[in-house]
Copies of this chain bind each other. A is one copy, B any other.
Amino acid sequence: MLAEHMTWIEYRDKVKHSVVILPMGAFEQHGPHLPLNVDVIIPTSFANLVAAKVDGMVLPPVTYGYKSQPTSGGGPLFPGTTSLDGDTLTHFILDILRDTYRHGGRKFLLLNGHYENVAFATEAVDLFLREAKDVKIVILSWWEQVPDELVPELFEGAGFPGWDTEHAGITETSLMLFFAPELVRKDKIIDDQAARIPKYAIFPPSKDIIPASGVLYKATYASLEKGEIICKQVTDVIVTIVKQEFNARSQ
């Protein structure tokens, strides 16, 4: 399923009928307990699971994303957070879409793991549609596919703060415990949150809207079990979407 491991001959035979999945991540701080590529690992893991069920093909992911914002990712001042300008990200995605289309790809799923990417991926798709005909493209973010029913269970005891601040918090930490436990510094998992969370953006960021740890919520409520549950349910939701929107068959 991983396009990068295919030969060109294997790719050729697959690209034309498969749903082509582009995971979109970032290189961004995720607290003292998670590695900088959480936003790559999570959507790539989902992409692999989905591809396995719908005969999909997974492209090499977007590994550097759009600029982290304070209230959704801690912002640019954390060491490590390394981002692209909006125009760079847009053209990066556009060029990948254009060349994949040239090879016969017509069904695209942009599976996002980094909130700030969405608008610039949308722009890439819009520019792409000026050139490409007979394509269908879906952009989705994994957390928006978490069933509403599951939320109370996941956030029991902690309270649901909204998805915005679920950065390096319960769900991301749980998924990392499930997908890549060797990368989680379990002894460094903490609860944290901003002194205040304004409903507007401030530039340059004020210190009081950013937790010093980079953890935007209560990571100690995370668990491998929660990770497994999210994984299973979100994968199912995405598979359902893919089948519905692309008429993809199950494997």
Contacts and interface: CB of A to CB of B under 8 A. Distances in A.
Interface string A1-33: 001111111011001000000000001011111
B82 A6 contact: no
Contact of A78 (B8, B83, B125): B8
B81 A126 contact: no
A158 interface: no
Interface of A: 3-9, 11-12, 15, 27, 29-37, 40, 59-61, 63-64, 66-67, 69, 76, 78-88, 90-92, 95-96, 99-100, 102-104, 116, 118-120, 122-123, 125-127, 129, 135-141, 144-145, 183, 185, 188, 198-204, 214, 241, 245
Given A34-B7, A36-B8, A139-B201, A83 B99 contact: yes
B92 A200 contact: no
Contacts of A135: 203
- The 7 A-B pairs at the shortest CB distance, nearest first, are namely A119-B119, A12-B79, A140-B200, A8-B29, A4-B37, A11-B80, A86-B123
Copies of this protein, total = 6
A83 B123 CA distance: 12
A79 B37 contact: no
> Which residue, of A7, A66, A69, A104, has the highest number of chain B Cβ atoms within 10 A?
A7
22 contacts: A4-B37, A6-B35, A7-B30, A7-B188, A8-B30, A8-B31, A8-B78, A8-B81, A12-B80, A69-B122, A80-B103, A84-B95, A85-B95, A85-B123, A87-B91, A88-B91, A129-B203, A136-B203, A138-B200, A139-B201, A140-B201, A145-B199
Contacts of A63: 4, 60-61, 63
Given A86-B86, A122-B201, A27 B8 contact: no
A251 B58 CA distance: 37
Contact of A86 (B81, B103, B119): B119
Contacts of A34: 7
Considering residues A29, A31, A85, which has the most beta carbons from chain B within 10 angstroms of its beta carbon?
Answer: A85
